[in-house]
């Protein structure tokens, strides 16, 4: 069960956004990722709890910030409820989308599991619902994903396969790279892996 720490920053101006202290593990029904987030000063900022089934579909999502929380799952696309902690301002949403996304590295791992791309796979387009910022406001976005390289590196704990994905924002045309090793993000825009106590799990 890998445990570690990611640092998060704005991918455009590199403003620090805080850290995500995480642990993740495969289970009998799929894969689960839990984390607590902190501000740049180290104060608690919220939490992430994402579980996907063996096919990579989100069966439970719980996001929390200081003033908002979201619960969602795959149902007729993806469905969610966004509310304040007291439950006074709850709103529901459903979109014909493949999965959720956001600032947490968990979403990149989960989506790679859902797509199951190979270097020979054609570019794949996906529709996602993103929850970002302290308000966790939903935004539907379209992306393209392709696996451009897969390399095996020798380590003290055995072979480590690193996959490089090219991800495009279909609304802006911008593209970037995401590097994954099993269920850990090694590098992606706005994400840096700072600590990892055990090797990643291989799917």
User: Is 202 among the domain residues?
Assistant: no
Convert the pLDDT of each residue in 157-178 to its tens digit: 788 899 999 999 999 999 999 9
| Nearby residues of 10 by Cβ (< 8 Å), 6 or more positions away | 17, 190
| Structure-token pair, residue 18 | 């805080």
DSSP notation for 5-54: EEEEE-TTT--EEEEEEEEEEEETTEEEEEEEEE-TTS-EEEEEEEEEET
Q: Specify the pTM.
A: 0.95
User: Is 154 among the domain residues?
Assistant: yes
Distance CA 17, CA 34 (A): 18
Mean pLDDT computed over 30-55: 96
Q: Which domain holds residue 67?
A: 3-196
Distance CA 178, CA 6 (A): 14
Q: What share of the chain in percent tops pLDDT 90?
A: 84
Number of domains in the chain: 1
Q: Which residue from 170, 148, 152, 169 is spatially nearest to 160, judged by alpha carbons?
A: 152
**Cα–Cα distances in Å, from 107 out to 88, 121, 148, 153?**
28, 21, 19, 24
Distance CA 95, CA 11 (A): 26
DSSP notation for 82-99: EE-TTSSS-EEEEES-SE
User: Is 35 among the domain residues?
Assistant: yes
Residue 12 pLDDT > 90, yes or no? Answer: no
Q: Can you give the pLDDT at residue 56?
A: 92
Spacing of C-alpha 115 from chain mean position: 13
User: Is 131 among the domain residues?
Assistant: yes
User: Is 203 among the domain residues?
Assistant: no
Confidence of residue 156 (pLDDT cuts 50, 70, 90): confident
């Amino acid at each position: 069960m890998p445990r570690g720490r990611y640092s998060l920053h704005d991918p455009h101006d590199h403003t620090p956004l805080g850290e995500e202290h995480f642990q993740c593990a495969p289970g009998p029904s799929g894969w689960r990722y839990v984390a607590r987030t902190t501000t740049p000063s180290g104060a608690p900022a919220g939490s992430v709890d994402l579980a996907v089934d063996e096919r990579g579909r989100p069966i439970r999502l719980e996001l929390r910030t200081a003033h908002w929380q979201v619960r969602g799952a795959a149902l007729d696309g993806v469905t969610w409820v966004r509310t304040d902690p007291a439950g006074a301002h709850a709103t529901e949403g459903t979109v014909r989308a493949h999965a959720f996304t956001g600032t947490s590295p968990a979403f990149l791992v989960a989506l790679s599991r859902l797509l199951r791309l190979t270097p020979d796979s054609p570019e794949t387009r996906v529709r996602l619902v993103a929850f970002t910022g302290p308000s966790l406001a939903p935004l539907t976005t379209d992306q393209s994903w392709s696996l451009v390289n897969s390399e095996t590196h020798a380590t003290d704990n055995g072979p480590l396969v690193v996959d490089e994905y090219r991800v495009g924002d279909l609304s802006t045309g911008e593209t970037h790279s995401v590097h994954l090793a099993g269920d850990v993000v090694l590098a992606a825009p706005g994400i840096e892996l700072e600590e990892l106590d055990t090797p990643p799990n291989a799917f």
